[in-house]
Amino acid sequence: MEAHRALSGLAADMEINIKKIAKRRYLQPVGCHLGLPDFPPTAVLYEDEELTPPMLVFFGMKERDFDRLSAKMRQARLLPDALKAVVTGHNLAWNALFLHRELSAEREQIESKGS
């Protein structure tokens, strides 16, 4: 909760809205969290463990705002291990579990190439 509060503070200075998704809603499509009508909620709720590392999903931000927020987060050492994604037409239908799994695999692949 502390990180969410800090991130909300950084974002508020830039007039960016932050929305924390309740763990029980992790099975909903990304588009549902954005309130898009083509992505209705599912009846199933997530009742397992919290996802680690945390994940940040960005939507509707201008590139310069994304870069500024990322720089502020680095300066504040805020959520340095968080997985990050930008919403695309490709991942709108994914739920948080699938998106997290994809981002984790991508990170693992990048890190293995660097070693």
CB atoms within 10 A of CB 91: 18
Digit-coded pLDDT (tens) for 75-98:
999 999 999 999 999 999 999 999
**pTM metric for this prediction:** 0.90
What percent of the residues of the chain are helix, what percent strand, and what percent coil, each to the nearest 5?
45, 10, 45
pLDDT digits (tens, 9 = 90+) for 32-79: 999 999 999 999 999 999 999 999 999 999 999 999 999 999 999 999
Helix (H, G, I), strand (E, B) or coil at 49: coil
Domain range for 93 is: 2-114
- Give 105's contacts (C-beta < 8 A, 6+ positions apart): none
Beta strands in 1-44 (DSSP E): none
Give the count of domains, the chain: 1
Per-residue model confidence (pLDDT) at position 26: 97
